[in-house]
Amino acid sequence: MKKLVLSVLMILLVVSSFSVVTITITGWPGNPAEEAAISEIVQKFNASHQDIQVRWDPIAGDYKQTLMTRLSGGQGPDLFYVDIYVFEELARANVLQQLDLYISRDKFDIDDFYPNLVEAFTFNDRVYGIAKDFSTLALFYNKEIFDKYEVAYPTSNDTWFDLLYKATLLKERGYETPMSLAADFNRLIPVIHSFGGRLVKEDLSTALTEKEAVAALKFYIDLASKYEVALLPTTLGAGWLGDAYAKELTAMVMEGPWALGYIREEFPNVETKTGIVELPGLVEKSSMIYTVAWSMNRQSPHKNEAWEVLKFLVTEGQEIFVQKAGVLGSRQSIASKDTDPMKKVFYDSVAFGYPWRVPTPTGIFAKADDYINSLLNDLFAGRITIEKAVDTIEKNYDVWVKP
């Protein structure tokens, strides 16, 4: 009799084990705070679900290449990070699952997400990812430096020429490096938009050679070369813009909320001196939107279970991420609970921000980005002229966006 009971129990255990679906989720490894947050999210989901269990399997190294290799080999995760920068490339590669039917079926409140963040992961009028969080750019400035040199603080109503005027006053009154700028195309993009420019034309050919975009490029470079109020962070002996600002090597930088976290952790005395306002405008207001979505593998054998996990990741999971990792909540209901006053400007900037995504016929922009960044470095170093840079873009852009 005992043997029979044991046999029945063993059979039940085996049957039970087969009824549990494991959903693998993948991203790149984060900092300790982010890793602790996702560990807590996974544990909370697993504790509340008997039939679905989540496994976090981050990819170190070349994330996109490893992910695409696994997906093409049928060994991909069920859910994974998709950076807005490569979203269109993956959408065109047909590896992402459309989510519209799941959203409609479950009456999932997609309208709770900032509209720009929904649009960021929409391709051909279909949603292929849901933003797990986001960042925007704002202007950091050192109040102590502005006070010392008796220059008015930057404001959210300033134009780019107001910024130039205040930077010039700092320079004239003895402060050596009013600004630090990066030779990175994504930092030039909000200037282009605020000057009334665009990145591509309707046929997806480049619009970077149009007069508005060229004017923005010239202004950006002139801050360093003509007006001499800006230097690259490397010239100042810093690794990046936030580092240059935190070490008080410059009075102003355009940075995201990650720089605020860095300052608080490594240079807490600088936080008390820091003001943060929206980026300057001109024809319009503009900022960048950096964001990452949770997307579903189109070949996942467990789509319904993966969708249940995805919903948790962007609701209860997102609350944990915002609290533990200091990111910005992409759900407006979660963002409204974030009472950190220094993060408010980043939330406000999403309304006029542009996702870090350049549409191309192939969905590929990485090569073009590398070449444009190289041109920006040459411009800052005075090795080429604006005219030469624009001519190079005009002649080579179509080749740059091919596979």
Distances 2 to 12, 16, 341 between C-alpha atoms, Å: 15, 21, 66
Residues 29, 60 contacting (CB under 8 angstroms): yes
How does pLDDT run across 142-166, given as a tens digit for each residue?
999 999 999 999 999 999 999 999 9
Which DSSP state fits 384? Answer: S
Task: Answer whether residue 16 shows pLDDT above 90.
Answer: no
Nearest Cα to Cα of residue 233 among 198, 187, 182: 182
Q: What is the CATH number of domain 138-288+364-400?
A: 3.40.190.10
Beta bridge partners of 133: 292
As a whole number of angstroms, the distance between CA 305 and CA 362 comes to 32
Structure tokens at 402: 């091919």
Q: How confident is the model at residue 3 (pLDDT cuts 50, 70, 90)?
A: low
How does pLDDT run across 50-76, given as a tens digit for each residue?
999 999 999 999 999 999 999 999 999
Q: Which amino acid type is present at position 201?
A: K
As a whole number of angstroms, the distance between CA 341 and CA 328 comes to 12
Q: What is the mean pLDDT of residues 359-381?
A: 95
How does pLDDT run across 229-238, given as a tens digit for each residue?
999 999 999 9
As a whole number of angstroms, the distance between CA 229 and CA 224 comes to 6
Enumerate the CATH 3.40.190.10 domain ranges in the chain, comma separated: 19-133+290-355, 138-288+364-400
Which DSSP state fits 398? Answer: H
Q: Which amino acid type is present at position 162?
A: D
Structure tokens at 168: 């010039």
pLDDT at 43: 97
Q: How confident is the model at residue 12 (pLDDT cuts 50, 70, 90)?
A: very low
Q: What is the mean pLDDT of residues 366-379?
A: 97
Is the dihedral angle over the CA atoms 97, 103, 106, 112 positive or is it negative? positive
Burial zone of 74 (CB within 10 Å; 0-12 exposed, 13-18 middle, 19+ buried): exposed
Q: How confident is the model at residue 13 (pLDDT cuts 50, 70, 90)?
A: very low
Beta bridge partners of 295: 80
Task: Answer whether residue 213 shows pLDDT above 80.
Answer: yes
Query: What is the rounded average pLDDT for all residues in the chain?
Result: 93
Beta strands in 234-286 (DSSP E): 252-255, 274-277
As a whole number of angstroms, the distance between CA 266 and CA 260 comes to 10
CB atoms within 10 A of CB 398: 14
As a whole number of angstroms, the distance between CA 234 and CA 58 comes to 31
As a whole number of angstroms, the distance between CA 386 and CA 142 comes to 31
Structure tokens at 356: 């870090």
Of the candidate CATH numbers 3.40.190.10, 2.40.50.100, 3.40.50.620, 2.30.38.10, the domain formed by 19-133+290-355 belongs to 3.40.190.10
- Calculate the dihedral angle through the C-alpha atoms of 108, 112, 113, 119, rounding to the nearest 10 degrees: 70
Q: Which of 5-14, 85-94, 257-266, 315-324 is least confident?
A: 5-14
Task: Answer whether residue 301 shows pLDDT above 90.
Answer: yes
Chain CA centroid to CA 233, Å:
20
